[in-house]
Amino acid sequence: MKRLLDMAGKDFLNLTANELKQAIVASEGRVICAENVATAQPYLGDSVSNAEVEKAAGADLLMLNAFDIFNPRIQGLPDTPEAHEYPIQWLKKAVSRPIGINLEPVDEDVDLVENRFDIVLGRRASPETLHKAEELGFDFICLTGNPATGVSNDSILATVAMARQHYKGLIFAGKMHGAGIPGVIMDLEIAKRYVAAGVDVLLVPAPYTVPGFMPQDLREISQYVRAYNEDKEIKDRVLIMTANGTSQDSSDKATIRQIALASKAGGADIQHIGDSMTGMALPENIYALGVAIRGIRHQITMLSRSDYRGGQAHE
């Protein structure tokens, strides 16, 4: 096995879920997950998708948001039969990176602090959407909530076991902001419930991105998770992804670096960056995040390495 940092495109395309998990662990907190709104007008126009721009800026994992799995459509793909009929397969070949999707476990009973935004069934977590995610070839799913959708920690936790039954890839789960619900978004006691539920990747807010979540809160959670992981096989370990999901992906570079270093020092295995600028983060901020957590050498190497260099172990 290689570190994710040492992989080329063909390596990524042949990874099993456990191999991807191991490659992330071996990269020691230097992995970037960039989110994008697949249906938004692309940042650079229709000639290139947001996912392709994110990969070119330094993203290692790509996560599609607001994607209707029953009506799969990605803006910026070419006007060809293959791209229309098999958009996920086309995109995976184009970016040579693992691709995931947000599925939202909506809590219909919870009270919101704002007007609820109802989402289509193809964006909701259900046995049907989980089966479809498996069929389309997504490498991971992320159980979380967009603004005003009314996704609660309780509804996410109740969905994890169902996801295990209907989906074989990695399961990310947690909250990066309130999703319209008042109260605590994440703390140690909530994190313990996610660990007990058996998530592969625990999603928590990055320090400084939501009110009251500080570096010491992340550190407390990561210490618990690392103690839990001792002597466990890779398939049973829990990783941590810190999420910059409150439009601070469009902050100045100094803020990006501050969040990035606090997340890495606090124990993040993966760092997420959001999608607030025409459906993605500012490309220069993805790049700045990469430089901050892995340095110019690894950043430029990841951007420069040809896809033809990888894949020997699987061919």
CA distances from 119 to 41, 130, 151, 164, 182 (A): 19, 16, 11, 23, 20
DSSP labels for 144-180? ---TTS-B-HHHHHHHHHHHHHH--SEEEEE-SS-TT
pLDDT at 315: 34
pLDDT at 180: 80
- Distance between alpha carbon 89 and the CA centroid of its chain, in Å? 18
Q: In the numeric block, which tokens belong to residue 144?
A: 């979380």
Asked if 128 and 89 count as a contact pair (C-beta separation under 8 A), the reply is no
CA distances from 18 to 12, 62, 191, 247, 296 (A): 12, 18, 22, 31, 28
Residue 314 has pLDDT above 50, yes or no: no
| Global pTM value | 0.95
Query: What would the CATH number be for the domain defined by 4-305?
Result: 3.20.20.60
Asked if 21 and 234 count as a contact pair (C-beta separation under 8 A), the reply is yes
Angle CA 124–128–134, to nearest 5: 100
Residue 26 has pLDDT above 60, yes or no: yes
- pLDDT tens for residues 35-79? 999 999 999 998 999 999 999 999 999 999 999 999 999 999 999
The domain spans of the chain are 4-305
- pLDDT tens for residues 90-118? 999 999 999 999 999 988 777 777 777 68
The count of other CB atoms within 10 Å of the CB of residue 128 is 14
Residue 262 has pLDDT above 60, yes or no: yes
Q: What is the mean pLDDT of residues 218-246?
A: 97
C-alpha count within 13 angstroms, C-beta hemisphere, residue 42: 17
**What Rg do the C-alpha atoms of the chain give, in angstroms?**
18
Polymer length of the chain:
315
pLDDT at 206: 98
Residue 234 has pLDDT above 60, yes or no: yes
Residue 307 has pLDDT above 90, yes or no: no
Q: Which residues pair with 151 in a beta bridge?
A: 106
pLDDT at 116: 75
Stated as kind and residue range, the H or E segment containing 273 is strand 270-273
Give 23 or 108, the one with higher predicted confidence.
Answer: 23
Rounded CA-CA distance 185/175 in Å is 7
pLDDT at 32: 98
Q: What percent of the chain has pLDDT over 70?
A: 98
Asked if 292 and 31 count as a contact pair (C-beta separation under 8 A), the reply is no
